[in-house]
Structure 1
Amino acid sequence: MSPMLATASAVISLALVAYTIGVFSERRSGELKRSHLVFFWLGLICDSTGTGLMSIMAQNSGGTMSPLHPVTGFLAIALMLFHAAWATYVVFRGNEKTRRGFHALSIGVWLVWLVPYFVGMLIGIPAFHVSGPIALAAAAGVVAVLALALLLSSKRSHA
């Protein structure tokens, strides 16, 4: 593994950790706090940095790649940017009602973000030999199972 690939993979994995901490600590507390903003923005910065490094490597390799991963990755970064910006607005200008209901958006963006994370992981593991469409289907399946588990867990805690 090249040093650039190792760095990009580590930084994107840090994005997963930061974003997950932000989303689930906000979900657990039931309201959006300033401390959550740090993790949302850190996740966005790490993901954007790692994605930038991966893009440079892809351009330098001259290989062909399915457009599914770059498209889903761009969508995820755009959603993370919207999420972090909206969270910042809600914390500093929003009312109590918007703060308390914010966690549904957080979970949704986190789930969408997981799709290109898993797609990249599946495509990037040479032993798997997974194509873009198959990786996307597998990632979407994993994320759907996670979404269902979160939904069922949320219903049980509210019952």
Structure 2
Amino acid sequence: MNSILLTGSVIVTLALISYSIGIIAEQRKKQLTNFVMIFLSLGIVLDITATAFMIFGSPNSPFTIHGFLGYSALLVMVIDVYLLWRFRIRNGIQVKVPKNLNLYSRYAYSWWVIAYITGALLVFLK
């Protein structure tokens, strides 16, 4: 694995940690605290950065099944963080996150973890 891909792998693992902290805190508290929003937003930045590193570092085409899985996972997380920020700006920190938004966050995160595990398995099985 070249250094660009290795860097991307480390960064995407940091994105996993950041997303996990943010989503678990949001699911437990059901509120969009500064803590939750910082970790989710950081996860997006790390995920976009890791995706760029992996595209530029890979000798393969960026248009693979795993690529599309990863891009779709990034997209659902971007949508999730956008919806959470919009809800927080409109309603404040103290308001509980509605059930449907809470559920979407859980599904988006699960999809992202599936994409992460798939990528890890592809590297492991090479």
TM-score over 0.5 for the alignment?
yes
- In 2, are the aligned partners of 1:22 and 1:39 still within 8 Å (CA)? yes
Deviation at 1:83, TM superposition (A): 0.7
Normalised to the residue count of structure 2, the TM-score between the two structures is 0.86
Which residues of 2 match residues 29-108 of structure 1 at below 5 A?
Answer: 29-58=29-58, 61=59, 63=60, 67-94=64-91, 96=95, 99-101=97-99, 102-108=101-107
Name structure 2 gaps, 5 residues minimum: none
Aligned CA RMSD, in angstroms, stands at 1.9
Per the alignment, do residues 103 and 2 of structure 1 end up closer, same or farther by CA in structure 2, a change over 3 Å counting?
same
Q: Which has the higher contact order (CA 8 A, sep 6+)?
A: 2
Percent of matched pairs sharing the same residue: 25
Q: How many residues align?
A: 123
Name structure 1 gaps, 5 residues minimum: 130-159
Deviation at 1:66, TM superposition (A): 7.4
Deviates more, 1:1-10 or 1:106-115: 1-10
Cα deviations across residues 2-50 of structure 1 (Å, max 9, x unaligned)? 3212211110000000000000011111222232111111111111111
